[in-house]
Structure 1
Amino acid sequence: MEDQKNNTDNTTPKVTGIGGIFFFSDNPKDAKEWYAKNLGLEINAWGSSGFESRNIDKPDQIDSLQWSPFKTGDDYFSPSKKEFMINYRVQNMEALVSKLKENGVTILDDIATYDYGKFVHIMDAEGNKIELWEAVEESHD
């Protein structure tokens, strides 16, 4: 089997990493301030995006992870009843969504495209809402 880690042309529809960690907080503003003061997170309007890593398939590419507290009960996590949501970075979004549909996975919305990438939300077998994100630099249109 050929080593796929060095294959920068690999377009297999799959997760390539973690794009974000989102969780409920009774007071997101205070939570952000606590994490900034005590753990040194650099806070922005959405939380913190200071977690950077290199893409193993494309070593020149720097990826970031978004960390965000949301107000407890925020509808963004619906229909999940969980207190967290993970955003996974993916490649080849359209093919991945087709595969998920074939596998009977619940797709919550249509693929939405923004300047910074494509997003879609799904539910896993445990009732967790998952956000899938294909960043612009990873797009395979």
Structure 2
Amino acid sequence: MKKYALTLTLIAASFLAGYAVKTSVDKNEKEPMKKVTGIGGIFFKCKDPKAINQWYNEHLGFDTSPYGTAFAWRDAEDSTKKGLTQWNPFPEDTKYFAPSAKDFMINYRVENLEALVMQLKKENVTIVDQVETFDYGKFVHILDPEGNKIQLWEPAE
């Protein structure tokens, strides 16, 4: 009798565990993965980044450094979360935007960069490099259909 009860308990536990896993998987399939959550930065080529930084500082009040400036903001849904959008001029001969021949690059903030890269690969999006991790987040570069290089950034929270 004990063996029968133990077997019945194991079957019931297996059924419940399978149901819980299936429900979890079904729930994940129904909720679309968040992709871009905002603009992380705007980068552009110019003849003289130092002069451009100075002009924007003098005429538009940008608090510039050799790396441009960062605009601080708060999340609309959770005002305790802060974010930054980076604005940065680059020398016109920079190779940082390669393989794109364009004079600009936009950085988009994302959640779960690795999962997004896996999804983009399935969708045959050109992934330029590997995900790199720094103290301030994870990065990867992709190309859109017109050859614009796009930087995807998952900020370190």
Q: What is the Cα deviation at residue 52 of structure 1?
A: 1.9
Residue deviations 1:24-60 (CA, integer Å, cap 9, x gap): 11000000000000000001231101x1222234321
Q: 2:51 aligns with which of 24, 30, 48?
A: 30
More strand by share: 1
Match of 1:7 in 2: none
Q: 2:81 aligns with which of 58, 61, 68?
A: 61
The within-5 A match list for 1:45-124 is 45-49=66-70, 51-124=71-144
Structure 2: segments with no counterpart, 5+ residues: 1-30
C-alpha RMSD over aligned residues: 1.4
Contact 1:23-1:69 within 8 A present in 2 as well:
yes
Contact 1:80-1:129 within 8 A present in 2 as well:
yes
Structure ranking higher on relative contact order (CA contacts 8 Å, 6+ apart): 1
TM-score, normalising length: structure 2: 0.77
Q: 2:37 aligns with which of 6, 13, 16?
A: 16
Q: What is the Cα deviation at residue 11 of structure 1?
A: 8.8
Contact 1:13-1:93 within 8 A present in 2 as well:
no
Contact 2:109-2:154 within 8 A present in 1 as well:
yes
Task: Find the structure with the greater CA-based Rg.
Answer: 2
Residue deviations 1:31-90 (CA, integer Å, cap 9, x gap): 0000000000001231101x1222234321111110000000210000001110000000
Q: Distance in 2 between matches of 1:57 and 1:99?
A: 26
TM-score, normalising length: structure 1: 0.86
